[in-house]
Chain A
């Protein structure tokens, strides 16, 4: 079956397109509409994971503050399209601005940290993420910029050519709820990001990133301008983050600093490490799994009721615990990720000492 599909790329593409188009309806009727919302979040996380993968997976720069860019995109959207300042700019104007602002902050963060590597870089980016979050949390005095911990609400939904995504769409006698509409919007953005990421990977820049990841000194010796290439990785990753943030704000209609905690950064990082760092199909799988698992674990409550007759442990308490267990277990059994990139596989398969040495050094962002 798989082989047959492999031989007919056009057929595969058509099947995939039909499948993706029909997915919300299948999920909506099969599992209920709340799962369509989960689908939307899967797409957002895939977008985030693709962005972070550029920084961590391709360029080998460990970024633990990635969610700050997501926050910047979301807050910019909320400032320019909500009653907070009375501004209601259209989404096609706000989204690029959010992406650009996030990209700018990516460069701002990247510039002072150019010399840092590995864990030091990780901890600085982590600090940056926390600084952004703490500011968002406290910028309600002396003038109210972010509305503090209460967050900002009533954010405008996306609206294209008079069609508002905030209301269900009635077309040909079928009612399409907003979550379905957002699914298609997010899908379009995700595919666009995927296209860019795949093309970047095979480009001159992509090879420069890989060289940087493997050995910075050798890369510089080969004539790669490591400073520019690093900054570009930060900026590209951040831009995707800002884009996802804007979409998130429009989709939720409400944002608060709570959505942008360090745990979110870590969650996205876990997605790409779990799936297989640097490998885009792996990253997508990781994002899907880590979004679905916590949602699926919500059913623990029902399971307890049907087996024990009562709820022994609150499922929401147990959810994160099992998530942690799953994280540890998956790393123990597949330390290189579920779908390691071809390069990683080759290195893991190699047995001679040089290759093993290299394998240890790969992603070994040394300080």
Chain B
């Protein structure tokens, strides 16, 4: 049972990160029906910027408590990613809003390539390690180990999700976003500034992605210019799993995907008699995705989006 609870805990932690990134995909898709391919790269930029800031802070003020250092990193990463997403939307997506459907997908891929290679030029090809700023404390919980970092990640992720929920359900901007997702034309007729709402959606998604980027690099202790790619793919899978366009779906999909991946990696060796090993971890996300889409194409919580004309 120890392995089971341990993998469950690991999966939930990883899953909460997936969920945060998935929120960005699902919000944009809900409004524009566009796969924002560059979202994974925005997450990566968030991680890289935060790491640079943390590195500077650790060097300049070694006595600063770790929590403040991490907070400093996040606080710089968030506006950077927001500005980045704002620019991407304005330059690469907005001019193509009336263009054939595949055109913005290609520019999204182009932006993704640009960001990856810019990051490589700025931060280099090597892995950057995350300094140990939080004390490596571990707690026992039902036979599983939980580190302070893991607890922080889960709490922060839940807080972010709650904040997003409040924003979408209880503010004017949130109402405008929901209206735009339902029908852009009608929302426009009702006096919603659709362009601004779309920009806001990208920017909010990027802010969450920045937080997720810092989390994932803190969790693995590493950051790399290529890290956004797989993360983005899995997060998008999570969004589809939960039902794309649905915020709770993204959260549920992310958590589920994390758990499935962790449990799968933990047990695949036993299940196949040692034939397949834990290095097949990345495969689970895609098998789950294909399975869900075949048997429930609208995702777990999605109802209307899949059939929307």
Contact = CB atoms under 8 A, between A and B. Distances in A.
20 contacts: A116-B293, A119-B35, A123-B35, A124-B289, A126-B233, A127-B237, A127-B285, A128-B290, A131-B287, A138-B276, A142-B274, A266-B109, A277-B102, A324-B113, A327-B107, A327-B113, A328-B107, A360-B98, A363-B101, A367-B307
Nearest to B125: A317
B99 A336 contact: yes
Contacts of A135: 283
Contacts of B283: 130-131, 134-135
Given A126-B233, A324-B111, A367-B305, A335 B103 contact: yes
B66 interface: no
A309 to B, nearest CB: 20
A344 B102 CA distance: 13
Given A321-B114, A328-B114, A331-B107, A123 B240 contact: yes
A158 B118 CA distance: 41
Given A141-B277, A321-B118, A123 B113 contact: no
Interface residues of A, number: 52
A327 B240 contact: no
B277 A365 contact: no
A99 to B, nearest CB: 24
B236 A123 contact: yes
Contacts of B240: 120, 123
A320 to B, nearest CB: 5
Given A123-B240, A336-B99, A321 B35 contact: no
Contacts of A200: none
Contacts of A360: 98, 100
B289 A123 contact: yes
Interface string A329-367: 001100110000000100000000000000110111111
Given A321-B113, A363-B101, A364-B101, A332 B33 contact: no
Question: A-B pairs with the 10 shortest C-beta distances?
Answer: A324-B113, A127-B286, A327-B110, A335-B99, A324-B114, A321-B117, A328-B110, A335-B103, A112-B294, A364-B101
A131 B286 contact: yes
Given A112-B294, A124-B294, 13 more contacts: A115-B297, A116-B293, A118-B101, A120-B293, A127-B285, A131-B286, A134-B282, A134-B283, A277-B102, A317-B121, A324-B113, A331-B99, A360-B98
Interface string A308-323: 0000010001101101
A130 B286 contact: yes
A291 B95 CA distance: 27
B290 A273 contact: no
B110 A113 contact: no
B102 A62 contact: yes
Query: Which secondary structure dominates where chain B touches chain A?
Result: helix
Nearest to A367: B306
A325 interface: yes
Interface of A: 62, 112-113, 115-116, 118-120, 122-124, 126-128, 130-131, 134-135, 138, 141-142, 262, 266, 269-270, 273-274, 277, 313, 317-318, 320-321, 323-328, 331-332, 335-336, 344, 359-360, 362-367
Nearest to B99: A335
Contacts of B279: 138
Nearest to B102: A273
Contacts of A317: 117, 120-121
Contacts of B112: 324
Contacts of A366: 308-309
Contacts of B280: 134, 138
A308 B206 CA distance: 38
Contacts of B91: 328
A326 B113 CA distance: 11
Given A113-B293, A116-B297, A327-B106, A336 B113 contact: no
B306 A332 contact: no
B102 A363 contact: yes
A274 B100 contact: no
Interface in B229-282: 233, 236-237, 240, 244, 274-277, 279-280, 282
A123 B237 contact: yes
A318 B233 CA distance: 25
A135 B240 CA distance: 23
Contacts of A336: 99-100, 103
Interface in B154-185: none
B121 A313 contact: yes
A363 B100 contact: yes
B92 interface: yes
A328 B107 CA distance: 5
A154 to B, nearest CB: 26
Contacts of B297: 115-116, 120, 367
Contacts of B282: 130, 134
